[in-house]
Structure formats: structure tokens, C-alpha cells
């Protein structure tokens, strides 16, 4: 696009500039502090580059596809160029389709709607609900949580060997856990799936912001991720992969854009001829800005250099893990053990503390934003905490007795926009809270632990 001025070239630095890096928040103990956003696994802040690119395009925004006006044609080019940019970012195959959705959850629900009849779905209990729940209309086999990457491959091997080889099958697996941050053996799981005639979809929501994702190299059939975790929080996601199931499935949404031809029948009904391209599942007016923001983020991460980004993040991971290891009362949650490779997502519990109380104190007394709860991965967190699989988990007050009301954990997560100071402040805060206790009193309000007024 040359008709508007895109963001000026910025020198690559670590961390990458993000919005909100100078925001200050009040502390209950008095004064203000720069906010330490350490909840990237839920939603990462927007890259400054993404915001600047979107702001530069915004005056030229127009309807996409079929519009005769200049801005419509310009926006259509931008939208389709974004599709190509994201496909390159994912190293898609030449005949793959890339569909813009609302999120990872939306992407996997779309794929679930495209499953052929009698398709059996295999999914580990360790998945985020976005990849655990969409398959309810299929025959689902939920696999036990593995304790090593090799055990994951062996578990899938046994399950696939027992299936009906004449029925279609799909394996759904995460690339990096949203609870432990641990990397999963995606390439090996894909090879196992294909050896048994099954297909595989990769939930890359937590992987794509931290590591390069190559559809070709991993040999996955589909990949899904969310813009809001990839520093592009403008309401878009991606489903990319093999086109055949998508082309033959009923459109995910029925409406304008998905239809190629609509005719009136004599009986008063209508006949519809649907597109076979990505438009088949993109009915309605596309989220042009959302798609463009994802493409902008993909470019920014690629230009920054994955080797540099990964190395710096691993430095932060090591610092957090070392700091938590110095506090005996802290237990870090893990499936694969201390030596497992992981991204910047770490969950833990603190002996003698309700996790909601601890997270509230980090926020109110230190200006640090983390996440507490079960992280939309209830079966996995229950397994890691050794609780009854049927136990109900929820946030609780600091005085809550052990049991279902204290069934939660704390998650700290970070990435390319995280300054070293935020990590150092977090490590110091954990140590001080465990050693000295909270400086404030807290109560439960609408299910959340909050400072008492």
C-alpha cells in the first residue's frame, strides 16, 4: 500500500515497543507505579508498530470486495495482501486456505463444523477449552495427560491404533500449554496421526507469539491462532490449512460474501451456490482492520528476528523460574518436568495462600497484573493440583478453607514487549509477600478477591 503513510521504520530493540508500557496505576498503599502487564497468555498488548500501521490505514478504510469505489478497492487489496502475509508467516502450502475468524476458539469451532460424517476426534485432557470443547457433535476420545513428550506420542499411538481405520479422524493438540508454557512434540504427534490415516490441527494460540510456526515443517493439516495473543488485539483470528474439508462443508455462517449465486425457486424458497474459496466461511463484512493488524504483527515479529526474540524470552523464563525456586513455599506446575522447553507462561501455587488472594495482592500492592484461576483448562489444572476431577474450582476469599474454593493457581506470562524491570519486580514481590505477608486486607466481591475498603 503506497497511498497512505505506514509506520516509520523502527530500530529493532528488545523488548519490542508495545502500547501501555508507560501506564501508571495506583497502589492501595499509596502512590503510583508503572503497570507491569504479566498476563500475555490471556491478551498481549498491541505492538506499537501494529497500532501505527492501523492508524495510518484507518482514514482509508472502506468496504471489502465488490465495491467500485477507490477506498473499497484499496481495502480489498489490503485485506487479501494480509491473507498472503499471514500465510507466509505460517509457511503454508500453496494449496492451503487461510480463513480470517474472530479467534482461536472461533477457528476451531469452524473446523468442527467442517468435520466429515463419522469423524472421530482425539484430544488430550490438557487442552485449553477452545480446543477441548468444540468437538461435542463428533465422537470424542479424551486422552489422559501425559507426563513426558514421548508419553504423549505413545498415548496417541495406542488410541489411534484402536480406532476404526475406515472412519475419518482428527487429532487436536496445543503447541504450547497455556498453563505450564511447555512445548508439545507437535511434529512427532503429526507423524503419528498421519501414520494412522488421521489429520491433525494445531492450536498455536500460545505458540505463535513465542516461536516460529511452520505448517510445512510441523506437517500439520491445520493451524489456528488468535490476533489478541499475537500483539494484534483487534478481534481477528486465523484458521489455515487443507482446503478439502473446508470446501465441502456447509458455510460456517450463511450470508453475504459466502454465497456465489442465489436464485428464487418456484416454491418460494431459494437455492444457493456457495463459494469454494476462503470466502465460503467469511460471511458478512470482514474485519479488515483485524486482519491487517495480524499481518502487521507477523511482519514485526519476523523482522525483529525469531532467534533474538526467543533468546531474550528464554532469559526472562530462566529469571522467573530461578526467582520462584528461591521461595520454598512456591510450587511451579509442570507436566514434563523442570528441563522441558517452554515459552513465557508459568503457573504456580503458594503454600498457605489462596491464589486469588495472592494475585490480588500483586496487583493492589505492587501494580503487577497476573492471572489466577483455572485458566480455561480445568481438567489440566485439576490434574496438576492433584484434585478430584469432579471438584468445582472457583476464585475464593483469602480465608477460604482448603477444597474446591481454593482450587486455583497463579499464572505469570510475558513476551516480546516485557521489560526486564517487570520481571524483576514480580520476583521481588513474590518473595516479599511470602516472607512478610500482605500489607492490606482483602475480601470477596462478586467472586473476585479485592482490597477491602
Q: Which residues are marked as active site?
A: 376
For β-strands 409-413 and 259-264, DSSP reports them as unpaired
| CA–CA distances in Å: residue 408 to residues 125, 289, 378, 419 | 17, 36, 9, 27
The grid cell for 118 is 463419522
| CA–CA distances in Å: residue 388 to residues 129, 154, 377 | 19, 25, 15
Name the residue among 384, 295, 364 with its Cα closest to residue 88.
295
Please give the Cα distance from 209 to 341 (Å, whole number): 15
CB-CB contact of 109 with 120 (8 Å): no
Please give the Cα distance from 209 to 304 (Å, whole number): 12
* Helix ranges (DSSP H) in 59-142: 70-89, 104-113, 129-132
How does 307-326 read in b/e, with b if 16+ C-beta sit within 10 Å? eebeebbeebbeebeebbee
Q: Long-range CB contacts (< 8 A, 24+ apart) of 145-149? A: 145/335, 145/379, 145/380, 145/383, 146/335, 147/335, 147/336, 148/336, 148/337, 149/184, 149/185, 149/188, 149/336, 149/340
- C-alpha angle with apex 426: 425 to 428, nearest 5 degrees? 65
Q: For residue 174, which phi and psi values (nearest 5 degrees)?
A: -80, 155
Question: Residue 8 burial (CB < 10 Å; 0-12/13-18/19+)?
Answer: exposed
Amino acid at each position: 500500500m503506497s497511498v497512505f503513510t505506514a509506520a516509520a521504520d523502527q530500530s529493532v530493540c528488545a523488548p519490542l515497543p508495545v502500547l501501555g508500557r508507560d501506564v501508571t496505576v495506583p497502589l492501595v498503599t499509596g502512590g503510583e507505579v508503572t503497570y507491569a502487564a504479566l498476563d500475555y497468555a490471556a491478551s498481549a498488548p498491541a505492538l506499537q508498530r501494529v497500532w501505527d500501521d492501523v492508524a495510518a490505514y484507518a482514514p482509508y478504510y472502506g468496504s471489502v470486495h465488490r465495491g467500485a469505489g477507490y477506498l473499497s478497492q484499496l481495502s480489498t487489496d489490503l485485506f487479501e495482501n494480509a491473507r498472503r502475509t499471514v500465510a507466509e508467516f505460517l509457511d503454508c502450502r500453496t494449496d492451503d486456505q487461510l480463513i480470517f475468524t474472530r479467534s482461536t476458539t472461533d477457528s476451531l469451532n469452524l473446523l468442527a463444523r467442517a468435520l466429515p460424517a463419522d469423524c472421530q476426534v482425539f484430544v488430550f485432557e490438557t487442552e485449553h477449552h477452545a480446543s477441548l470443547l468444540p468437538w461435542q457433535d463428533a465422537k470424542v476420545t479424551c486422552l489422559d495427560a501425559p507426563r513426558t513428550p514421548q508419553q504423549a506420542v505413545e498415548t496417541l499411538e495406542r488410541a489411534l491404533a484402536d480406532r476404526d481405520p475406515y472412519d475419518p479422524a482428527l487429532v487436536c493438540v496445543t503447541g504450547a500449554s497455556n498453563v505450564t508454557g511447555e512445548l508439545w512434540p507437535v511434529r512427532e504427534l503429526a507423524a503419528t496421526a498421519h501414520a494412522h490415516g488421521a489429520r491433525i490441527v494445531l492450536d498455536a494460540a500460545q505458540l505463535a507469539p513465542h516461536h516460529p510456526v511452520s505448517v510445512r515443517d510441523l506437517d500439520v493439516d491445520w493451524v489456528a491462532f488468535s490476533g489478541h495473543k499475537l500483539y494484534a488485539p483487534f478481534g481477528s483470528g486465523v484458521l489455515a490449512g487443507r482446503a478439502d474439508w473446508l470446501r465441502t462443508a456447509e458455510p460456517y455462517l450463511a450470508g453475504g460474501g459466502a454465497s456465489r449465486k442465489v436464485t428464487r425457486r418456484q416454491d418460494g424458497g431459494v437455492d444457493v451456490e456457495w463459494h469454494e474459496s476462503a470466502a465460503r466461511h467469511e460471511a458478512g463484512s470482514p474485519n479488515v482492520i483485524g486482519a491487517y493488524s495480524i499481518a502487521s504483527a507477523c511482519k514485526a515479529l519476523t523482522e525483529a528476528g525469531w532467534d533474538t526474540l526467543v533468546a531474550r524470552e528464554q532469559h526472562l523464563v530462566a529469571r522467573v523460574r530461578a526467582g520462584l525456586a528461591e521461595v520454598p513455599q512456591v510450587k511451579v506446575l509442570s507436566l514434563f518436568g523442570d528441563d522441558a522447553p517452554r515459552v513465557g507462561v508459568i503457573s504456580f501455587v503458594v503454600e498457605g495462600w489462596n491464589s486469588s488472594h495472592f494475585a490480588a495482592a500483586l496487583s493492589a500492592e505492587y501494580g503487577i497484573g497476573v492471572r489466577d484461576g483455572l485458566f480455561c483448562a480445568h481438567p489440566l489444572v485439576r490434574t496438576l493440583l492433584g484434585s478430584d476431577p469432579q471438584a468445582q474450582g472457583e476464585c475464593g476469599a483469602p480465608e477460604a478453607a482448603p477444597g474446591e474454593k481454593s482450587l486455583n493457581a497463579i499464572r505469570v506470562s510475558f513476551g516480546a514487549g516485557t521489560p526486564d524491570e517487570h520481571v524483576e519486580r514480580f520476583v521481588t514481590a513474590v518473595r516479599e509477600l511470602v516472607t512478610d505477608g500482605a500489607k492490606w486486607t482483602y475480601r470477596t466481591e462478586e467472586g473476585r478477591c479485592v482490597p477491602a475498603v
